[in-house]
Amino acid sequence: MTLLVTIRVALKALGRNKLRTALTMLGMIIGVAAVITMVALGRGAQQEIETQIQSAGTNLIRVRAGNFRRGGVSMGVGGAPTLTVEDVEAIRREVPGARYLAAGVSTRDQVIAANRNWNTQIEGTDVELPLIRIWDVETGVFFNPSHVRSAAKVAVLGSVVRDNLFGEGADPVGERIRIRNQSFQVLGVMAPKGTGGFGQDQDDTIFVPYTTVQKKLRGRDGTNISGITISADSPDNVNPVADEITAVLRAQHGIPPGEPDDFMVRTQTDITTMRSQMTQTMTGLLAGIAGVSLIVGGIGIMNIMLVSVTERTREIGLRMALGAKGRHVLWQFLVEAIVLSLVGGVVGIGLGFGVSESLTRVLLWPTAFPADAVALAVGFAAAVGIFFGFYPARQAARLDPIDSLRFE
Amino acid sequence: MPVIAVRDLAKTYSTGAVEVRAVRGVNLDIEAGEFVAVVGPSGSGKSTFMHILGCLDRPTRGSYELEGRDVSRLTRDQLADIRNTKIGFVFQGFNLLARTSALENVELPLLYRGPSVRGAERRRRALAMLDAVGLADRVDHMPNQLSGGQQQRVAIARALVNDPAILLADEPTGNLDSTTSREVLDLFRQLNA
Ligand SMILES: Nc1ncnc2c1ncn2[C@@H]1O[C@H](COP(=O)(O)OP(=O)(O)OP(=O)(O)O)[C@@H](O)[C@H]1O
Ligand SMILES: [Mg+2]
């Protein structure tokens, strides 16, 4: 009996009970579709991160005060007041590869405009920030060095803040907002930037001179800052510049060799890698959960095949009486199981593709069709068919012809 | 040398407390070309005996030599080959495959032949066999669309399709009218000649 004939016999047997065949396949279809969708979503997220990094500027270096890797007391990033404006000046002086620098002090507060208010991130920064983040002002202007020197009460709004305080698309330049009972003048609005490297909304923020945060909002006159944002002069130079910055800051802070840093230097690449790893773990987890449904689908196939073998005992007995050998019967049932799982797998791929497409179209979630996951799903489906089909098929092949013929 | 040589053949079914001695010590030689009838009342063990001769069942005692070979020493696969090519068996209860056309039922033994028979050839031989039993116009009918006698004739066609050396028929005319019975027996005699 050739394989072709075996496949035809299997297809005919499956065709005799279409509803059952369809329901058995459904388990496989859902399993494969779930895996494909999850992986497609994960890959889409991955690709989006890569795009975001390009938009954030690949030359970005961030320095944060404090270092959570320091032994003993847990400081938390930004928890220790170890960075000062002098550090910024030292880097500017001694690291020529650091093209743009901006000191940063952030806080969160309620912002009030006329009759509306909004709780948002207040980012104290310096004039070079738009150059570092490659981020344009849409209307109005960014603050200038004299604003920074005088700790002027001026603010540049992120587009989300503008939308919530003044209404969507409004032009608030020249208007006044209140933060901690102090009146600030709106200088401009940033162009919308979208979601940032860690999923935060970058447009939900207000930029003010860092000196203003230090002197007017924190209520304590100090030179401490919580971070420095730096742009290296070329992508290739990011790591050397980061190293030089580390050396300069250690010298500034008088840290003896062997002692840990009291600050953290992170490049955009570090952040990207971390974020990518997070997404990968997430994708793996989701695909794993989806994979469980594949196994459940396989058990469904085994269940139906066992029922089928019992139901068709007489048929098996007859085929054996007419000359079918154990392996003929084994193959007949195995091929049935494989057809169930493979056809289920292929339909599942179609469904998974459809679902990811709709997620992209309707919910605007980014997805990327994972060709390797498709190959994997097909292979896995076939493996499930063989694995879960083998036991019932072997049961069938071991039957005795006369006993099976008499079976009721 | 006889084709079939049976010595002291017995088959005892033990179902719980009761022992049914269906076949008790049969001695029989059948030569090639012989036409033999096994007769006996209902429940006397005719079918049981035929199943053993057809290599479908094993005796509980005694020996059975087919063409000089001790059947009890053959493997499952060897027995399957014998059932496929050497012996044609017409079951008392027909045993047609349900929801499968008469043609495909007759083709079944050809599917399991050693060197595989091509689809067109299978069809040709099955059609010829159905024609020989007078069912040329019923080839696409399912078993439940055939009368008892027609089903029996499909079963006969199936038993003959592999051109077996031995034809075992368990009450092959049990469901046929006297005319058709005579035709079937004539067919057997013809094949025997
Ligand atoms: N599997 C079995 N288990 C127990 N007893 C059985 C089994 N098969 C047959 N028998 C018994 O063996 C005896 C012989 O049965 P068998 O079918 O061989 O009779 P038969 O001569 O073919 O009868 P009929 O002419 O009615 O077909 C019967 O009494 C029957 O009850
Ligand atoms: Mg009988």
DSSP per-residue letters across A255-302: PPTTSPPSEEEEEHHHHHHHHHHHHHHHHHHHHHHHHHHHHHHHHHHH
A318 CB contacts (<8 Å, ≥6 apart)? A404, A405, B95, B97, B108
Looking at the structure, do residues B125 and B46 belong to the same domain, yes or no? no
Distances in Å between the alpha carbon of B192 and those of A99, A359, B36?
106, 73, 11
Task: Say if B65 falls within a structural domain.
Answer: yes
Looking at the structure, do residues B108 and B193 belong to the same domain, yes or no? yes
Of A261, A284, A308, the last residue of a domain is A261
Q: What's the CATH code of the domain at B164?
A: 3.40.50.300
- Residue A376 CB neighbour total at 10 angstroms: 17
Looking at the structure, do residues B90 and B184 belong to the same domain, yes or no? yes
Task: Say if A229 falls within a structural domain.
Answer: yes
Residues of B in contact with A405 (CB under 8 A): 56, 91, 95
Q: By the CB < 8 Å criterion, does B108 face chain A?
A: yes
Strands A154-157, A182-190: pairing kind: parallel
Give the number of beta-carbon pairs within 8 Å between A and B. Answer: 60
Looking at the structure, do residues B98 and B190 belong to the same domain, yes or no? yes
Which residues of A sit within 8 Å Cβ distance of B?
1-2, 5, 9, 16, 314-315, 318-326, 328, 401-402, 405
A230 CB contacts (<8 Å, ≥6 apart)? A60, A61, A62, A63, A91, A98, A100, A101, A102, A132, A241, A245
Q: Which residue has the tokens 């071991």?
A: A398
Looking at the structure, do residues A256 and A279 belong to the same domain, yes or no? no
Looking at the structure, do residues A283 and A354 belong to the same domain, yes or no? yes
| Chain A residue closest in CA terms to B161 | A322
pTM comes to 0.69
A325 CB contacts (<8 Å, ≥6 apart)? B76, B77, B80, B81, B112
Residue A135's pLDDT is what?
A: 87
Please report which confidence band the pLDDT of residue B50 belongs to, taking 50, 70 and 90 as the band edges: very high
Of B73, B103, B131, the last residue of a domain is B73
Structure tokens at A40: 């497609």
Nearest atom in ligand 1 to B14's CA: 4
Residue A12's pLDDT is what?
A: 86
Atom 17 of ligand 1: nearest residue by CA position: B47
Residue A222's pLDDT is what?
A: 66
Of the bound ligands, which one is closest to the alpha carbon of residue B53? 1
Looking at the structure, do residues B101 and B189 belong to the same domain, yes or no? yes
Task: Say if A78 falls within a structural domain.
Answer: no
Among A61-75, A249-263, B45-59, the minimum mean pLDDT is found in: A61-75
Task: Say if A305 falls within a structural domain.
Answer: yes
Looking at the structure, do residues A249 and A121 belong to the same domain, yes or no? yes
Residue A220's pLDDT is what?
A: 59
**Cα angle, residue A226 at apex, residues A220 and A227 outer, rounded to 5°:** 145
The DSSP 8-state label assigned to residue A217 in this structure reads I
Task: Say if B153 falls within a structural domain.
Answer: yes
Task: Say if A152 falls within a structural domain.
Answer: yes
Task: Say if B79 falls within a structural domain.
Answer: no
Instruction: Give the residue numbers spanning the domain of B114.
Output: 86-193
Sign of CA dihedral B40, B46, B47, B53: negative
Residue A71's pLDDT is what?
A: 47
Looking at the structure, do residues A237 and A118 belong to the same domain, yes or no? yes
Is the minimum distance from the CB of B45 to ligand 1 under 6 angstroms? Answer: yes
Structure tokens at B26: 């049969």
Task: Say if A76 falls within a structural domain.
Answer: no
Instruction: Give the residue numbers spanning the domain of A299.
Output: 3-52+273-406
Please compute Rg for chain B using Cα positions.
17
Looking at the structure, do residues A36 and A97 belong to the same domain, yes or no? no
Is the minimum distance from the CB of B20 to ligand 1 under 6 angstroms? Answer: yes
Q: By the CB < 8 Å criterion, does B20 face chain A?
A: no
Task: Say if A268 falls within a structural domain.
Answer: no
φ, ψ for residue B111 (rounded to 5)? -65, -30
In chain A, how many domains are there?
2
Task: Say if A291 falls within a structural domain.
Answer: yes
In chain B, how many domains are there?
2
Instruction: Report the candidate in B177, B188, B149, B172 with the shortest Cα–Cα distance to residue B46.
Output: B172
Model pLDDT for residues B51-74, shown as the tens digit of each residue: 999 999 999 999 999 999 999 999
More confident residue, A369 or B151: B151
